[in-house]
Amino acid sequence: QVQLVESGGGLVQPGGSLRLSCAASGFTLDSYGIGWFRQAPGKEREGVSYIGSYRTYYSDSVKGRFTISRDNAKNTVYLQMNNLKPEDTAVYYCTRTSTRLGGSDWSARWAYGVWGQGTQVTVSS
């Protein structure tokens, strides 16, 4: 069964850090591009970051604070989030795509298929 499972969310103070994990099962993760999206209450789901075979992309709002990486041996993608801000509060989802995406379309939801169930990140003092 093809599945993505996110973990690592929680409550953190502004300026703190979290590392999210996206564990894949039922397929080999390094054959796909993996995206991280987030959705805050009352807002559209938005792309946060993407990792392909050779490229990574970040939204302007997280660039310089978040880092995406993959461990093919563990079939897992990570999102290291530093200097967190209250506006980063959202449910974070990972998702996969078999399409080779570039700078203009990596954050397009239509490009992705399987989605995880999400993990809540709350940044608050």
pLDDT digits (tens, 9 = 90+) for 79-124: 999 999 999 999 999 999 988 888 889 999 999 999 999 999 999 9
pLDDT digits (tens, 9 = 90+) for 3-17: 999 999 999 999 999
| 107 Cβ contact list (under 8 Å, min separation 6) | 35, 37, 46, 47, 50, 57, 59
Contact 36, 50 (CB under 8 A): yes
